[in-house]
Structures are given as C-alpha cells and as structure tokens.
Structure 1
C-alpha cells in the first residue's frame, strides 16, 4: 500500500475561515488544539498513529519565520499525513477553495 504525505497552503485565509472551508470540503470536523510548539491554536483530525490532518499557521513560534520556508507566502498550512487516498482528498480540497497542493511525498 502506498502512503502519501501532502502539504497544502492558502495565502489569504485566516485560520478559522480555513478550518470551515476544509471541514466543508472533507465533510469532517476538526478538533481545536493548543500547543506552544505548534504556534498556539491549531486544528487536527485523526490520530497521530494513522491518517491525520493538521491545519495551522505558517509561523514558527520560536523565531517568527515561516515553518515551511519554501512557501513563505502561504499563511495557512494543511498537512495530510499517512494517507492512502491522496487523490480523493486533493479533489475535495480543490473544490473547497483557496488551498493549493504544495508538496506531495510518496512512501
């Protein structure tokens, strides 16, 4: 089975607005979490030991630089981790609005 890790980015959205867009696109509800390591409030769907989604700001809480330095113009990041349904998720996310696929890694 192929496992994929995808990264999406959005330039214009605020985090709460992005959450609504992604939840509508996927038909799922993200859980709000808070972690100083992840830069404060972020949203997660799934468990860390299986397919999961993390929606967060592209700001490193320790130095203020972008977490994803190759994509500094993208204010919001959506990580899709350990999925085997990457193409289906990409179709749903594309229909949901302002997110662009930035990275696609296959393992």
Structure 2
C-alpha cells in the first residue's frame, strides 16, 4: 500500500469557505481548533496514524510570511496526510476549489 502526503492550495477562498467546500465534497464535518503553532483557527478531520485533513491559512504567525514559501499566492492550505487514496481525492479537491501543489509518497 502506498501512503501519500499531499498539499493543496486555494487562491480565491477564505478559510471558512474552504472548510465548507471540503466538507461538502467529502460529506464529513471538520472540527474547529485553535493553535498558535498552526497560526490560530484551523480545521481538522481525522488524525493519529490514520488519514487526516488540515485546513489552515498560509500565514506564519511569528513572522507573517507564507508557511509554504514555495506557494505564497495560495491563501488557504489543505494538508491530506497518510492517505492511500491520493488520486481519487485530487479530483474531489479540485471540485472544492483546491489545486494539488505537492505530492509525496512514503
């Protein structure tokens, strides 16, 4: 089984609208969380050793720069971690307004 870690970005969505879009296409509800490490409010689904999703702003809370410095034009980031359905999720995330920025397989 191939496990992938994917990064998606959205240029034209706000944090809340990104969450609503992803919830709609996945049919799952995200949990709101707050962490200075994640830059304030962010949204999470899943976790532990299983597949997980994190939606957050692309702003480093300490210096204001982009968290993902290779993609400063993307306001909202979506991390999909430890997934074995990367290909299927890419089309679904496109429907939610996200573009695949990075795909890593381990």
TM-score > 0.5, shorter chain as reference: yes
State the 1:27 CA deviation: 1.1
Written as runs of structure 1 = structure 2, the 5 A alignment for 1:1-107 is 1-96=1-96, 98-107=97-106
Q: CA–CA distance in 2 between the matches of 1:9 and 1:65?
A: 16
State the 1:6 CA deviation: 0.4
**TM-score, with normalisation over the residues of structure 1?**
0.96
Identify unmatched segments of 5+ residues in structure 1.
none
SS of the aligned residue for 1:45 comes to strand
Identify unmatched segments of 5+ residues in structure 2.
none
Q: Is contact 1:26-1:89 (8 Å) kept?
A: no
Root-mean-square deviation (Å): 0.8
SS of the aligned residue for 1:13 comes to coil
Off by >3 Å, runs of 4+ in structure 1: none
Count of matched residue pairs: 106
